[in-house]
């Protein structure tokens, strides 16, 4: 399997960003763990973070050419705003898991609105950095292969 993990704006600040909310684990820690987790199952995993909506869309488009089987995405603030990123995921027709480090239902009311959840295979929130591990394990071991 070929897995792509995508992270939206401000997630490069994980570990230093509002640590009372987001914790002290950095995105580099999460990336390292994700790559070795996939490798130990014989899968390959690419990890990408951007603060730019267009760059995220371009990366999603490239995933189709690369034969990516599944995407794990933390759209961050784009969760609540981006029709364009939603449309990119639907456009490439690659199944995806939506992931949030925090429990978005325990926070501001407007964080409950997601442009992704109704199309996601699964939605994970509030597990902290463990959410990435859970999402990747789900994709590796439990998500059905897409008919090609
Ligand atoms: C987030 C939750 C979003 O509401 C927020 O804008 C983020 C991170 C999370 O991982 O908990 O940037 O996606």
Domains, the chain, ordered by start:
2-142 (3.40.50.9100)
Pocket test for ligand 1, best of 79, 116, 129 (most atoms within 8 A of CB): 79
Instruction: Please give the share of the chain, as a percent, with pLDDT higher than 90.
Output: 91
- pTM here is 0.96
From the list 20, 48, 100, 142, the catalytic residue is: 100
Spatial separation of the C-alpha atoms in residues 143 and 52, rounded to whole Å? 29
Hey, whose CA ends up nearest to atom 1 of ligand 1? Answer: 76
Average pLDDT estimate for 127-137: 97
> Mind listing the pLDDT tens digit for each residue in 40-97?
999 999 999 999 999 999 999 999 999 999 999 999 999 999 999 999 999 999 999 9
Q: What is the mean pLDDT of residues 96-113?
A: 97
Its ipTM equals 0.99
Q: What is the CA radius of gyration of the chain?
A: 14
Hey, what are 136's tokens?
């990747």
């Amino acid at each position: 399997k070929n897995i792509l993990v995508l992270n939206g704006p401000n997630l490069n600040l994980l570990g230093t960003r509002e640590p009372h909310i987001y914790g002290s684990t950095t995105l580099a820690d999460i990336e390292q763990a994700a790559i070795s987790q996939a490798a130990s199952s014989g899968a390959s995993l690419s990890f990408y973070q951007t603060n730019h909506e267009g760059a995220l869309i371009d990366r999603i488009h490239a995933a189709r050419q690369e034969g990516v089987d599944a995407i794990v995405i933390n759209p961050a603030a784009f969760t609540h705003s981006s029709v364009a990123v939603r449309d990119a995921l639907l456009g490439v027709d690659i199944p995806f898991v939506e992931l949030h480090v925090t429990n978005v239902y325990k926070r501001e009311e407007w964080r409950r609105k997601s442009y992704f959840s109704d199309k996601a295979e699964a939605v994970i929130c509030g597990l902290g950095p463990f959410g990435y591990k859970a999402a990747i394990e789900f994709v590796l071991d439990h998500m059905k292969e897409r008919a090609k």
